[in-house]
Amino acid sequence: MSAHTLAGALADDGRRRIFAAVVLGATSASVIAERTGLPARVVLTGLRRLRDAGLVTGTDGALTVDDGWLREAARDSRPPDDADPAVDPVLRTFLRGDVLVGLPAQRGRRRVLLAHIAERSFARGTRYPERAVDDALKTWCAAGGSDHATLRRYLVDERLLTREHGVYQRL
């Protein structure tokens, strides 16, 4: 099952309430209806949809959550960690390949990450128009860990790039 299936199964408020009741120990449709305040018909329809998605298993009176499937779905949805173990732990934490998954809050760690990005994206002494800088930084931001404008600003603030009249250069 995919994360898409999970999201679809839990997109409805009634199904979320039904799922929550099963998570909290309700083992039959009548107990779920009592705990959620939902009509029996809505509960039965919601249970069928949750069973079809693989979230709930068992029959009425012995309903349970397939928590093994949830753990598997969580593992499968994480980006692969293909960073070289010999690489700086900061890079291992905040990069997946050449994609940024987050920005460190601590300035020292952020500088390590920004220096790596600058080194991999820009040649020393070459002048880049702002559009070229944005295009190079957008590829780092594909996973939504940050946006290219924030990266560009940090690179300039940390003096890894200079900016003069809309032209950037790596120091």
Question: What confidence tens digit (pLDDT) does each residue in 7-40 have?
Answer: 778 888 999 999 999 999 999 999 999 999 999 9
Q: Strands 64-65, 95-96: parallel, antiparallel or unpaired by DSSP?
A: unpaired
Does residue 139 sit in the same domain as residue 94? yes
In a domain, 70, yes or no: yes
Does residue 158 sit in the same domain as residue 122? yes
Question: What confidence tens digit (pLDDT) does each residue in 133-170 have?
Answer: 999 999 898 877 788 899 999 999 999 999 999 899 99
What is the count of structural domains for the chain?
A: 2
Does residue 111 sit in the same domain as residue 142? yes
Domain boundary among 38, 57, 77: 77
d(CA 114, CA 158): 8
Does residue 10 sit in the same domain as residue 70? yes
Does residue 29 sit in the same domain as residue 71? yes
Does residue 32 sit in the same domain as residue 66? yes
Residue 139 domain boundaries = 89-170
d(CA 123, CA 108): 23
d(CA 72, CA 79): 14
pLDDT of residue 85: 41
Question: 100's torsion region: left (phi>0), alpha (psi -120 to 50) or beta?
Answer: beta
In a domain, 84, yes or no: no
For the chain, the residue count is 171
| pTM, 2 dp | 0.50
In a domain, 83, yes or no: no
Q: From the CB of residue 139, how many other CB atoms can be counted at a distance below 10 Å?
A: 12
**Residue partners of 40: CB distance under 8 A and separation at least 6:** 29, 30, 33
In a domain, 82, yes or no: no
Does residue 11 sit in the same domain as residue 53? yes
Q: What CATH number is attached to the domain comprising 40?
A: 1.10.10.10
Give the range among 16-25, 62-71, 73-82, 102-111 with minimum mean pLDDT: 73-82
Does residue 48 sit in the same domain as residue 118? no
Does residue 73 sit in the same domain as residue 8? yes
Does residue 98 sit in the same domain as residue 164? yes
Does residue 64 sit in the same domain as residue 93? no
